[in-house]
Amino acid sequence: MVERRGGQKGFTLVELMIVVAIIGILAAIAIPQFAAYRERGYIASMQSDTNAVRIAEEAYFVQNNAYIATTDPKTDLSAFGGVTVSAGNSITVALVGTTGYTVTVTSDKTAKTVVYTSADGTTTTN
């Protein structure tokens, strides 16, 4: 801060430009990190939904000795674990032969897909 004659105080143009440049640099670093945090959050909710459907499918199998294919697990599996679907997620359960199934979760908030395969018990994110 520079004191001018007559007792006036203020910042010079160079000082203000430096502050604006520093704020720009911080924003350039923070915005991509924030987007990555959001992406990880969406994937975590998709994995959680996958796990809830997996548990409900296994409970259904114990009672009915078969798996169920569905595009609405919240309704179709409601008596088997109370499946809740996170906002923006869509879940599809497809049968694989007579002894297995796959759970596919997509989200309208990310281009990623989470797939659980019962045959080998793996969950993959594509």
**Residue 119 binned pLDDT confidence (cut-offs 50, 70, 90):** very high
Contact 116, 122 (CB under 8 A): yes
Helix (H) or strand (E) holding 104: strand 100-107
Contact 123, 104 (CB under 8 A): no
Within 8 A by CB and 6+ apart from 69, the residues are: 93, 94, 95, 101
**Residue 6 binned pLDDT confidence (cut-offs 50, 70, 90):** low
Q: What is the separation of C-alpha 125 from the centre of its chain, rounded to a whole number of angstroms?
A: 11
Q: pLDDT value at position 120?
A: 92
Is residue 117 pLDDT above 90, yes or no?
yes
Convert the pLDDT of each residue in 45-76 to its tens digit: 999 999 999 999 999 999 999 999 999 998 88
| Mean pLDDT within 20-48 | 93
Angstrom distance (rounded) from CA 19 to CA 22: 5
Higher pLDDT, 21 or 84: 21
The encoded tokens of residue 68 equal 């169920």
Angstrom distance (rounded) from CA 43 to CA 88: 12
Contact 89, 49 (CB under 8 A): yes
Domain positions in the chain are 2-125
Is residue 2 pLDDT above 60, yes or no?
no
Q: pLDDT value at position 1?
A: 58
Q: pLDDT value at position 118?
A: 94
Convert the pLDDT of each residue in 93-111 to its tens digit: 999 988 899 999 999 999 9
Contact 126, 62 (CB under 8 A): no
The arrangement of strands across the sheet holding 110-117 comes to 89-96, 100-107, 110-117, 122-125
**Residue 3 binned pLDDT confidence (cut-offs 50, 70, 90):** low
